[in-house]
A and B are shown apart, each in its own frame.
Chain A
């Protein structure tokens, strides 16, 4: 048994439950290994004096969002962050057991993309599409965008009509060429980027969140220069600031101290403080997916972003760990500066505690894959100081 749950309905309707020493926590979560053809289970419940035989039908869960979220919700009800040590493998198996979601894809071109772009930028859109308008207003004033293949991926079918009504206007006004990919269903951050990258033709790739805005032109060539100059660079990422000008991101570190959380988390050192004075690129443990540049071939070589994480968390550090495993390094280029209005597009997903358990699941999954490599990396960084 993993945990007891509150079940007021059971408590009220079954006599022996009322004499239970656990009060109204008469519900429970248990893990059982069943034969593949099992149809139902029989449970014997007792309180020491009396016993009750219950027959429970079984429902087969699918690798769909509703069923996966149901498991996360059950995890949340246990009020035990460490629950994923036991429940995590089942969720992971469930996700793996069926093919990755294949969304219907519709591609439209707005303007002529450059024949030989020097960078493909993939921007997933989710939650709100006016951010695309703000980005275009910035890109239109940046001469470097004439050599950019810009790819927007709408990962939010609810917004399709709204976007289709606006997109012609925006293209006519800002005169930035782009490709628009409409997904028939929500694939999440990793899935949307993977579809976008499949349509990218430049040798260099930039993953960009829709809530990231350049401070001034020059950031893109700065990143490209660093990617080609830095030996063994797998990923380069810019400095990201909050709207206030405080640091949002200057490289991610793995946090082994865990601060009460049972799993390794991604930490943004210096977040919220004034940015430091560094101007030259420096190595980092991992880069944020909010804005990262890498060779397109390398992205494909490591299989892109892992779609096994739910909603959008840890895919970026997972990608960085995959690149580290083939000998590539990760960098922050502080002379390229953008603003990141963190989580402006995610505010609409679920309530806080459910999100917290989603993050815990993703953290568990990330740790399962990378704990030894991360421990080694962290030891090495501590040794260097």
Chain B
């Protein structure tokens, strides 16, 4: 029996992000496998409760933890030197798989290593967080231009209030803790390359996608009598400046008016939440752009995973116009699962997961004119849609992900 402790930065019941869901699915699936046992420890915000607490069954726990957002430092003596060691001595895991360190605190890696010198420590890398202080996105602070490489002086030019030396210390501090990790998992080749460029050893990083629950592809959207076009576009995900929603709205505005619904075939559905968390300026800008196109653009708000088949059934294309590199976006996997061709920014994790002219189309990021041209071409060339749709490759399943992860646990 091999025991795996999975540590996640949130519980999907409270914070249903892609990484939290992936961690929880691993936990559930491992427990179904013979010879394997998993324990789940999810971070919760510090509260009056005890530091580590059972929340479900006999193997699902939360840990009250907080870190700063610069170097992910957690200096909680009681947690790291008392509650966590006590928990680990009870749990006795052979493998500890960290799904993140944000909010959990990077020191947790060393605290685990102190108590379990023989355990195998695994860390799944999500964004470029250790590399980049700008939410781990590798876009420049201010103009959001794409960044290709961090350095103390480059980071200081992004954040003039923080000296190059502080950035140097941040990097060294994180790397000293990363040294305690036996193996890393990266959901994309692109993310792996960025971490290798940053200084991690290539053979210590395995590229394994976060698997998805399997589903049957949907049939093509039923076209109206006489309709030959494929002009229903959709956006899924968080609405924030990095997801490129403004680029997409600007592209819609550049299309010939006669091509837009209700008179023309092209419309855009936006499914996503989070707009109200953004700056007033961003909210006003998005709202004004939607308002101008109110006949052709519809803002639907938050959706749940179980709504997806219904939402995807009524559209032709999924657009992912992000202006940052992305890693392995869940929305791409979902579109591929349900058989909806993608139009994505041709950079980073998006360009890796969607192959141009094979199962989707690439567009230059932050290029509304280019995106408008591609959308028009995509909508009015039905054979293109059909060809791409035929070549859709379903994403890895959770079972496949576990099959690939188990050897990493056992090396």
Q: Which residues of A contact B (CB under 8 A)?
A: 131, 134, 137-138, 140-141, 166, 168-169, 172-175, 211, 213, 243-244, 339, 341, 344
- Report if B107 contacts A (CB, 8 A): yes
Cα distance A173–B111 when bound, in Å? Answer: 6
* A-B contact sample (5 more), CB < 8 A, given A140-B176, A173-B80, A213-B169: A141-B180, A172-B81, A173-B110, A174-B110, A244-B152
Tell me whether A134 and B169 are in contact (CB under 8 A).
yes
Give the residue of B107, B114, B152, B179 whose beta carbon is less than 8 angstroms from that of A141: B179
B153 within 8 A of partner (CB): yes
A243:B110 contact, CB within 8 angstroms = no
**In the complex, A163→B168 CA distance in Å?**
23
Contact with A along B107-131 (1 / 0, CB 8 A): 1001100100000000000000000
- Do the beta carbons of B177 and A175 come within 8 Å of each other? no
By beta carbon, the residue of chain A nearest B75 is A169
Chain B, Cβ-Cβ closest to A344: B165
Interchain nearest-CB distance for A33 vs B (Å): 48
Q: How many residues of B contact A (CB 8 A)?
A: 22
Residue B329 lies at the interface, judged by CB distance under 8 Å to chain A: no
Q: CA–CA, A134 to B177, complex, Å?
A: 11
Docked CA distance A210–B176 (Å): 17
Chain B hits for A211, CB < 8 A: 165
State how many angstroms separate the Cβ of B248 from the closest Cβ of chain A: 40
A243 and B77 contact, Cβ closer than 8 Å, known pairs A137-B177, A140-B110, A174-B110: no
Given A169-B81, A173-B80, A244-B152: A213 touches B172 (CB 8 Å cut-off): yes
A137 touches B173 (CB 8 A): yes
The answer on a CB contact under 8 Å between B165 and A137 is no
- Cβ contact of B165, chosen from A166, A172, A175, A341, cutoff 8 A: A341
Chain B residues at the A interface, C-beta cutoff of 8 Å: 75, 77, 80-81, 107, 110-111, 114, 151-153, 164-165, 167-169, 172-173, 176-177, 179-180
Residue of A nearest to B172 (CB): A213
Most chain-A CB neighbours within 10 Å: which of B107, B168, B180?
Answer: B168
21 contacts between A and B (CB under 8 A): A134-B169, A134-B172, A134-B173, A137-B172, A138-B172, A141-B179, A141-B180, A169-B77, A169-B81, A172-B77, A172-B80, A172-B81, A173-B111, A211-B165, A213-B169, A213-B172, A243-B152, A244-B151, A244-B152, A244-B153, A339-B168
Which B residues lie within 8 Å of A140 (CB)? 110, 176
Give the distance in Å from the alpha carbon of A226 to the alpha carbon of B176 in the complex: 27
Q: Which residues of B contact A174 (CB under 8 A)?
A: 110
Complex CA gap A44/B131 in Å reads 70
List of A residues within 8 angstroms of B81 by Cβ: 169, 172-173
Task: Choose one: A168, A173, A341; the contact of B114 (CB below 8 Å).
Answer: A173
CB-CB < 8 A to A138: which residues of B?
172, 176
Instruction: Given A173-B114, A341-B169, verify A243-B176 contact (CB < 8 Å).
Output: no
- Chain A residues within 8 Å of B168, by CB: 243, 339, 341
Shortest distance from the beta carbon of A315 to any chain B beta carbon, whole Å:
23
Docked Cα-Cα span, A137 to B167, in Å, equals 16
